[in-house]
Amino acid sequence: MAAIVLWLGLFASVMLGTGEARGDSARALLEYDYNTLTMESLDKISNRITQTDATTFGQKYHLDLEKSFFPNLRVSAGGIFEKQDMDTTIDGTEMNSQRTTSQPYANLNLDNQLYRAGLSYNKRETEQKSNGIGRTDVSELYSTTFGWRPDELPSVDLRVDKNDLYDKDHLVMDTTTTSTSMTCRYNTEKFDLQYHPFLQDTVDRFHNYEIKSTTHNGRLGYSDSFFNHRTTFGATYNIVDQQQEIIAHGVGELFQQITQVVAGLFEQSDSFTTVSLLPFPSLIDGQLTVPTTVNLGTNVLPLLNPPARNMGLDFGIKTEVNALRVWIDKDIPSSAVSDWFTWDIYTSDDNTTWQFDRTVSLAPFNSFQKYFDIIFPSVTTRYIKVVVRPLRTTSASPDSNDSTRYGDIYVTELQAYVRSPLPDGTTKNSSTSHRLNMDARTRLMDTLDLFHDVSFFLSQTNPGLGERTTLSNALSINQQFSPILSGSARVLRDDINELTGAGVGYGYSAALRADPLQTLSNTLLYSGRQEKIGEEDTTQNSLFLQNRAALYKGIDAFFDGGLTRNTDNVTGEKRDSVLFNLGTNVVPHRTMTLTGNYSETTSTTTGGPYIEELIRKVKRMDVGFTYRPFQTVYIVASLGRAEQETRNDTLKNYSLNWSPFPYGTLQLQFDYSEDLSSSDQSKITTFRPGIRWAIAPKVALTVSYLKSESDSVYQTVNMESLYANLKIMY
């Protein structure tokens, strides 16, 4: 401990000197954790009782230093040191484990209006021991960057990385990856020209293979308006050329990342099969350590059950994939936290209708590099998504209930891979893909909002995937009939050439909106589509009514209902769905809020391979209450229930937060939750009081107690845990 403090002091004195210049800074964090656990579990099948006692002590030291030597030259350096000791006793058998992590870093950056340059070094070393036996993993990353940004001339950004990943004894991994990427861009008011070369060389000495890949990506964009802005036109053309050489003389499995990803996608929704994911660029930006806003931790739990996280990828064309890698921003223990997550795989051709593929109940977690590997049999699809729910505070684990450490678990990246047996010898692959998008919109009349839209899409990949084209023509109109009544309509024709054959699709929609009062709105929407491509012939129709009303001041209500019919004209299968959703939000006083929501969906499938009608019904009810009588007291309560044919789930939550002293110096918290499920006849009850004391402006102590009881047809688990955390910031 003394050596660590001395090292931090010497490092700070060298960086900052005797006088701190303007813009220089030094930040330090000292953090200590203490956790005790007692757990007794009964396996009702074998009638075996297991007793577990565990004590964990953790310490963390974090230092960040910055100094400006010149106006444009800045140096930053620092490091993280963490150590965790755990003593565990299971049925009288004792075990001691240790985990030590050190992560120093240094950055040198030069930046002005014309150019920028940088050098960085980051090393992460983790030693894990169990009863004195273990190993040490090391990751060293060297990076250099250079950027040139002249006015009215092309800009250039260059980056070179070298990453060494190995264990100190070189017994389980020894990999070096060198990559060079460049972005050249020139844009004007109408043109956008980009060129991205990327070179990567990966040498895996443990599995005895080397992969050399070269990618050239060019993009040309153009946009303009004509005929006094009556017509707008836009077009983009992308060409990607890839060359790959694999030199292998080993046995094992090869993970090859799919780099041709058009977009990252994300949405929070429990409508897994009928949801359109929205573009989410940060999910595929290559920044493996920069968090996105996708949180899988316990802090996302709102008043009611949180919606599932739908994370997806758009490949642009149908692509084979059999593995997804989800990167996160922190290390989490596999036995306590990471094993709790389950991952559902869905595929889609249009990002609207999704087909469930399978559930991956256990995804291996790489604690050193901090990612989940979700492995499944190969699927060929344009869109793929993985659905996962945030960590629940009712999980029977002390670590998962530790909101301080695992309240925020942010996803940093989503990657797709193709797994294949490691080839023997030298294998060369090459491919060239073209993608063209053009669209134009013309206003046909001055006195009427009548528009013609035309678009053309072309995708071609050689060898193997061939060519896909879509030519779309559409007419749309918007009309205000009166001050309270408006409508819109649209018809379109798609001429499609897919890999499975050529065909035609017709789409049509109409909407009528009435706003008789400022506090009342009603919308009726009808849409449909007929499509015949090759041997596929389908028809889709839907009718929905949406109503919103502010009944009184502080009382809002809504009601949505509709029906859909999907018909397979080849097999005769019909799937009808009827759904409605109603709810209200009541604010009787500025300190109190009441919410209620009820939804019901009934799906009926007839025809095709189904001899009898297949009916599925799902009901969902949620009610909630929040009350803040004083600035220092906050009370929440909720009740949720979901009913299906073979399963009923109920979730109760109660929470109280109280700050008895001004400015939140002392905060008291009480949480109670109850989760009931009919699938395994389980009941999980969790009781957790806690306290947070701001001892000084930069010193905080958190103490919490957890008592959890879980009972199902398979097992009974009773657990008690005490957790304490001390943070000191400078």
- For the chain (length 730 residues), average pLDDT per consecutive 10? 44 47 78 93 90 93 91 92 92 90 94 91 92 89 94 92 92 92 93 94 89 92 93 94 86 80 88 85 86 82 66 88 92 70 90 86 86 93 92 48 64 92 85 91 92 92 78 95 95 88 92 93 94 88 93 92 90 89 92 92 81 80 90 86 78 82 82 76 85 91 91 88 93
**Phi/psi of residue 300, nearest 5 degrees:** -80, -5
Write the DSSP string, 603-618.
Answer: EEEESTT-SS-EEEEE
Token readout for 531 is: 């499509």
- SS3 category, 286: coil
H-helix segments, 583-643: none
What gap in Å lies between CA 379 and CA 377, rounded to an integer?
7
Spatial CB neighbours of 439, under 8 Å, sequence gap ≥ 6: 233, 234, 235, 453, 454, 455, 456
The pLDDT assigned to 398 comes to 39
Can you give the pTM of this predicted structure? 0.76
370 Ramachandran zone, left/alpha/beta (phi>0; psi -120 to 50): left
State which H helix or E strand residue 403 sits in.
helix 403-406
Q: Work out the number of other CB atoms within 10 angstroms of the CB of residue 39.
A: 19
Does residue 509 contact residue 523 with C-beta atoms inside 8 Å?
A: no
Amino acid at 708: S
Residues with Cβ < 8 Å from 266, sequence gap 6 or more?
277, 278, 280, 283, 294, 309, 310, 311, 312
Find the helix or strand (DSSP H, E) in which 5 lies: helix 2-16
Give the E-state strand segments of 499-554 in sequence order. Answer: 501-517, 520-533, 536-552
Residues 6+ apart with CB under 8 A from 620: 597, 598, 599, 600, 640, 641, 642, 643
The span from the first CA to the last CA of the chain, in angstroms, equals 17
410 in Cβ contact with 292 (< 8 Å): yes
Q: Is residue 343 a contact partner of residue 360, using CB atoms and an 8 Å limit?
A: yes
Distances (CA, A) of 248 to 83, 201, 209: 39, 13, 4
The rounded distance, in Å, linking the Cα atoms of 42 and 91 is 13
**Does residue 7 come out as left (phi exceeding 0), alpha (psi in the -120 to 50 range) or beta?**
alpha
Number of C-beta neighbours around residue 248 at 10 A: 20
DSSP lists the bridge partners of residue 145 as 118, 159
The dihedrals phi and psi of 8, each to the nearest 5 degrees, come to -65, -40
Q: Which of these, 347, 339, 337, 338, lies nearest to 310 by C-alpha position?
A: 347
User: In the prediction, which pLDDT does 6 show?
Assistant: 41
**CA gap 75, 208 in Å, rounded:** 39
DSSP code of residue 2: H
**Strand extents, DSSP E, 227-271:** 231-248, 253-257, 263-268
Amino acid in position 406:
Y
Give the CATH number of domain 263-421; options: 3.40.1710.10, 2.102.10.10, 1.10.240.10, 2.60.120.260: 2.60.120.260
Q: Which two tokens stand for residue 142?
A: 């060297």
The tokens describing 492, both together, are 């379109």
Q: Which tokens go with 260?
A: 């041709």
Residues of the chain with CATH 2.60.120.260: 263-421
Helix or strand (DSSP H, E) at 677:
strand 666-677
Q: Supply the pLDDT for residue 300.
A: 59
> Exposed/middle/buried for 37, CB within 10 Å: 0-12, 13-18, 19+?
buried
Chain mean position to CA 77: 30
Q: SS3 string of 455-486?
A: EEEEEEEECCCEEEEEEEEEEEEEEECCCCEE
CB atoms within 10 A of CB 344: 19
Local structure of residue 297 (DSSP, 8 states): S
Three-state helix/strand/coil letters over 143-203: EEEEEECCCCCCEEEEEEEEEEEEECCCCCCEEEEEEEEEEEEEECCCEEEEEEEEEEEEE
Q: Is residue 463 reached through a cis peptide bond, with omega within 30 degrees of 0 on the bond before it?
A: yes
What is the distance, to the nearest Å, from the Cα of residue 282 to the centroid of all Cα atoms in its chain?
10
Contact 250, 220 (CB under 8 A): no
Our measurement of the distance from residue 291's CA atom to the centroid of its chain's CA atoms, rounded to an integer in Å, reads: 10
By three-state DSSP, how is residue 11 classified? helix
